[in-house]
Amino acid sequence: MEHFDITVIGSGPGGYVAAIRSAQLGYKTAIIEKYDTLGGTCTNVGCIPSKALLDSTHHFSDALHKFKVQGIEVGEIQLNFKQMYDRKADVVLKNTQGLEFLMKKNNITKLHGTASFVNNNEVKILDASGTETQISSDKFIIATGSKPSSIPGIEIDKKRIITSTEALALTEQPKEIIIIGGGVIGVEMASIFNRIGTKVTILEYADYLIATMDHELGKTLQKILKKEGVDIQLQQSVYKVENQGDSAKVWFKDKNGTEQTLQADYVLMAVGRRPFTQGLGLENTSVKLT
């Protein structure tokens, strides 16, 4: 059984930085990642690809609405959805390749598979082929990140009822999309799709957007997004979402209890994220969950 001074579980922004610093301080370091590429949610299906699309859609929106006023003649402006998403994928690839380089540069052992604690100082790692290995370590750093939450009773089928992960991997532009949740992820996704001409509706339970942040910021964002054409419906309680085959349907109530329905190509669940600890075997350690 190979032994390490420090082992990091998860290779997202918390994990890979911790691994690099541990190695720089002279510790024999390993990093465990269950997916094929390093970087976690942020690099692969979160911050980086969404910012790449925000950048692309910003350019498209400027070309569509501002170039002519500025005296820039470029002819007919057309959206190439595939190229936009291909460019996003290339940005992600370059970032993950950069992380691979940093692991090699700092002599960090990279282990692919799903880690589960045997005890405080040992984990077993199950790779994609079903092969299990076991390592020991003086210290473990748990950096497994989070995964999308849903509303109780509503299943995310990843077909018509999706999360930001699936939205960032679409192969064709939706004509209409309903976003449940007006937090940072919901607002970001709304901006991306609205800029390219998709009809966007946000259903938010609170009385203003990004409710966990400053009220004035939420009000300002609401004003901007409404001006750009996003349909924002606040104080709405969603209680049912159903895949209709080639679309998805949402049932919800307003603050007065009035029931309404909406239908779109996709329903994107953006109601927050929860810690990813399932399957870690923390019950075999001294870690206490609250």
- Tokens 């040992």 belong to residue: 122
pLDDT of 49-92, one tens digit each? Answer: 999 999 999 999 999 999 999 999 998 999 999 999 999 999 99
119 burial (CB, 10 Å; 0-12 / 13-18 / 19+) is exposed
Query: Phi and psi of 186, rounded to 5°?
Result: -60, -45
Go through 135-172 and write b for each residue having 16 or more CB atoms within 10 A of its CB, e for each that does not: bebeebbbbbbeebebbeebebeeebbbbbbbbbeeee
Distance CA 4, CA 121 (A): 10
pLDDT of 241-255, one tens digit each? Answer: 999 999 999 999 999
Is the Cβ–Cβ distance between 290 and 274 less than 8 Å? no
Q: Residue 290: its pLDDT value, please?
A: 82
- Give percent above pLDDT 90 in the chain: 98
Q: Residue 191: its pLDDT value, please?
A: 98
pTM above threshold 0.85: yes
Q: Is 105 helix (H, G, I), strand (E, B) or coil?
A: helix
Q: What is the dihedral of CA 184, 190, 192, 195, to 10 degrees?
A: -140
What is the bridge-based pairing of β-strands 266-269 and 176-180? parallel
Is the Cβ–Cβ distance between 186 and 272 less than 8 Å? no
Q: Is 190 helix (H, G, I), strand (E, B) or coil?
A: helix
pLDDT of 2-31, one tens digit each? Answer: 999 999 999 999 999 999 999 999 999 999
Going from the N-terminus, what domains does the chain have, and what CATH number goes with each? 2-145+275-284 (3.50.50.60), 150-271 (3.50.50.60)
34 burial (CB, 10 Å; 0-12 / 13-18 / 19+) is buried
Distance CA 82, CA 84 (A): 5
Token pair recorded at residue 142: 């748990």
Q: Is 21 helix (H, G, I), strand (E, B) or coil?
A: helix
Is the Cβ–Cβ distance between 84 and 123 less than 8 Å? no
pLDDT of 213-233, one tens digit each? Answer: 999 999 999 999 999 999 999
Q: Residue 289: its pLDDT value, please?
A: 85
Question: How many Å separate Cα 44 from the centre of its chain?
Answer: 8
